[in-house]
């Protein structure tokens, strides 16, 4: 491994490898603004990133580690929000792939537990990432 500066880039100017790589789903959690109200009375929600892999990456970044998440999202507003949120936390989102079949947010909510866009990556994708050849699908 080459030396790195404080910007997270190696001496050649390329992004440095993450110190922490989490693998798993990224989700968009919706929390009701009306606390204590039954769901039928809730009228507005706050969105927040979720998913174990994302939560671990956020924590590691807050502790000063270069972190990345290896996951997949749909090409919709949820996917855009996921990438922007990771970047906002200072997390490397270059290993976030896109699955075209999960192209609309309404469907993503309904099938989240059945066939989510951020499915576990294949062995080939993991090998490519480790070898530095990751190409987003």
Upper half-sphere CA count for residue 22 (Cβ side, 13 Å): 24
- In this prediction, residue 66 carries a pLDDT of 93
- In this prediction, residue 63 carries a pLDDT of 95
- In this prediction, residue 5 carries a pLDDT of 42
- In this prediction, residue 33 carries a pLDDT of 84
- In this prediction, residue 11 carries a pLDDT of 63
* Angle, CA 73 vertex, CA 79 and CA 76 arms, to 5°: 40
Distances (CA, A) of 35 to 27, 32, 98, 120: 21, 6, 34, 34
- In this prediction, residue 134 carries a pLDDT of 53
Instruction: Set out the domains of the chain in order of their start, with CATH numbers.
Output: 20-130 (3.40.1190.20)
Tokens of 114: 């059945």
For the chain, list residues with pLDDT below 50.
1-7, 104-117, 137
- In this prediction, residue 51 carries a pLDDT of 84
- In this prediction, residue 92 carries a pLDDT of 93
Asked if residue 96 lies in contact with residue 26, where contact means CB atoms within 8 angstroms, the answer is yes
Tell me the whole-structure pTM to 2 decimals. Answer: 0.64
- In this prediction, residue 3 carries a pLDDT of 39
- In this prediction, residue 38 carries a pLDDT of 80
């Amino acid at each position: 491994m080459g030396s790195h500066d404080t910007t997270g880039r190696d001496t050649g100017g390329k992004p440095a490898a993450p110190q922490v790589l989490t693998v798993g789903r990224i989700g968009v959690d919706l929390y009701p603004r009306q606390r204590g109200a039954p769901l039928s009375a809730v009228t507005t929600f706050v969105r927040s990133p979720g998913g174990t892999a994302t939560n671990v990456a956020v924590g590691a970044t807050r502790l000063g580690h270069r972190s990345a998440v290896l996951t997949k999202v749909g090409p919709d507003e949820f996917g855009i929000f996921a990438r922007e949120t990771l970047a906002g936390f200072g997390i490397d989102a270059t290993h976030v792939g896109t699955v075209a079949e999960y192209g609309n947010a309404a469907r993503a909510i309904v099938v989240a537990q059945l066939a989510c866009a951020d499915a576990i990556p294949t062995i080939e994708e993991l090998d490519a990432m480790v070898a530095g050849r990751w190409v987003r699908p």
